[in-house]
Structure 1
Amino acid sequence: MSDRAKSFFWYELMTNDLEAAEAFYTSVVGWTAEPFDAPGAPPYLVVKAGDRGVGGLMAFPEEIRDSGLPPAWMGYIEADDVDAVTASVKASGGSVHREPADIPDVGRFSVVADPQGAVFMLLHGNGPELPPAPMDAPSHIGWRELYADDWESALEFYSGQFGWTGDEAIDMGEMGTYQLFAVNGEQNGGMMNRPPQMPVPCWQFYFNVPAIDAAARRVTDGGGTVIFGPEEVPGGQWVVNCIDPQGAFFGLVAPVR
């Protein structure tokens, strides 16, 4: 592992209705969308905040379209050597859902899960390395949140694999501890033991919006559902947890009202 810790840097929605997802998220988050054509690949839209890509929207590949897998947002963690990190994840108790493979004109990737089952992806891109977007950059990802079976062992795993460090721990009473983590000295997200309504360990990503109430209305006006919030969180920000019209979970975060 290099001296610089690695974190999520690309986010991808796999959905069963690409056109509807594009209309929903460009309205709610304020992204623009551009097609990315790769030989033999399903249709893919790159969503952008200004002139910088944030992530992608894609339709389920044909081989998993009828599998019953629900639409979901996934995150890619940067890896200098995808094969080596994939092997390290497996050796540390994680699992490999897709072995390392090349994406033409993009880079090398794999699909893995931590020892508790939360899925994420690894990617080494072919293009020039960009500095991380600021946490408060408009329409970028403003927070990353892991719902775990045991957040303490999850933090140990991600610290060992990617160099993350524990930060402030927040006592949430009956809900337990909310443990913040940092990447290269900057708060990057949080971990907690999953509540009963969360069926499996997973990652959730929060998109920055300028005003939480207006964004929540755009969610419901677009056919989505707000399942939690608006709620003020430590630091004065406001969040909502949502489900898009096709069933994918996501969050929104905004500055002080």
Structure 2
Amino acid sequence: MTQSDESFIWYELMTPDPDAAARFYGAVIGWAIAAHSDPGAPGGVDYRMIVRGDGSHAGGVLRLGAEMIAGGAHPGWLGYLYAADVDAAVDAIVADGGAVHMGAHDLPVGRMAMVSDPQGAVFYLMNPIPPAGKEKRVSGVFSMTEAQHIRWNELAAPDPDAAIAFYKKHFGWEQEGGVDMGEMGQYHFVQKGQEGVGAVMPMTPETPAPGWYYYIGVDDIDRAVAAVTSEGGALLHDPMQIPGGEFSVVGSDPQGAIFGLVGPRKG
């Protein structure tokens, strides 16, 4: 993970059982999750890397310990947004009504903080330290087209217009295009420069809380859906066709972390 002009530079699964997560996401996505904590993880933290089939990292897995759970942490996926100055970004977000959940601090991989936007969507801020000799390499965890990458970032917000204004101001995003969802309102596409980031949509009655939801690319949506149920996960709805001809679905893993899948139907 290195400095990048991309908005999302890393993704993290928080779970009480990384070994179970490895079995589940291995079957559904094709990822390999390390059997042991990364040697570079801070002392006492069980943090494992997610490896794609091409050998590159797709993100990380943080084991939720009893103390974290007692403090309110729960299974879920979180994204990391790039910030050149983490401390200044935290101050600006708080000044606009956001909140700090973990103050800015240094790790061997960079400086980071955990915050939420004014409507409660939680995310990390990070300015990563590039590995020696790879200072110009950019993050490759997000791709709008490739399987085993996060392909879409979707924000469910009580006030989508306010959310769009917030991310425009703090991260330089743009908003162009969208889909009319009828009574559910507008589905707004958001971009960073010429690249798509994802979308902002109104919360629905089924949405548990304001937040970012991440869609993982799969090679075959029907194969992946079958693996979700056979491996102990659950589907929140049936696969739906999306613009472009592919299909998407939202589900939860056996520990309760919500995720999305997107990919072609090959059957």
Q: TM-score, normalised by structure 2?
A: 0.90
**Counterpart AA for 1:236:** G
Q: Deviations over 1:162-189 (max 9, x none)?
A: 0110021210111111001111212220
Counterparts of 1:146 and 1:189 in 2: how far apart (Å)? Answer: 8
Assess if the C-alpha contact under 8 Å between 1:177 and 1:192 holds in 2: yes
Partner secondary structure for residue 206 of structure 2: coil
1:45-194 to structure 2, matched below 5 A, reads: 45-49=48-52, 50-67=54-71, 69-103=73-107, 105-127=108-130, 128-133=135-140, 134-194=143-203
Counterparts of 2:177 and 2:76 in 1: how far apart (Å)? Answer: 29
Assess if the C-alpha contact under 8 Å between 1:241 and 1:252 holds in 2: yes
Q: Does 1:26 align with 2:35?
A: no
Deviation of 1:52 after TM superposition, in Å, equals 1.5
Bigger mean CA offset, 242-251 vs 51-60: 51-60
Counterparts of 2:27 and 2:56 in 1: how far apart (Å)? Answer: 18
Match in the other structure for 1:217: 226
Counterparts of 1:243 and 1:70 in 2: how far apart (Å)? Answer: 13
Match in the other structure for 1:230: 239
Deviation of 1:5 after TM superposition, in Å, equals 5.5
Deviation of 1:253 after TM superposition, in Å, equals 0.5
Counterparts of 1:29 and 1:17 in 2: how far apart (Å)? Answer: 17
Deviation of 1:66 after TM superposition, in Å, equals 2.8
Deviation of 1:22 after TM superposition, in Å, equals 1.3
Match in the other structure for 2:38: 36
Bigger mean CA offset, 214-223 vs 32-41: 32-41
**Greater strand fraction, Structure 1 or Structure 2:** 1
| Unpaired stretches in structure 2, ≥5 consecutive residues | none
| Unpaired stretches in structure 1, ≥5 consecutive residues | none
Deviation of 1:65 after TM superposition, in Å, equals 2.7
Q: Percent identity?
A: 41
Runs of 4+ deviating beyond 2 Å: 65-70, 128-134
Partner secondary structure for residue 40 of structure 1: coil
Q: TM-score, normalised by structure 1?
A: 0.93
Question: RMSD of the TM alignment (CA)?
Answer: 1.6
**Counterpart AA for 1:222:** E
Q: Deviations over 1:79-98 (max 9, x none)?
A: 11111111111112211111
Assess if the C-alpha contact under 8 Å between 1:112 and 1:119 holds in 2: yes
Assess if the C-alpha contact under 8 Å between 2:10 and 2:139 holds in 1: no
**Counterpart AA for 2:138:** P
Counterparts of 1:237 and 1:199 in 2: how far apart (Å)? Answer: 26
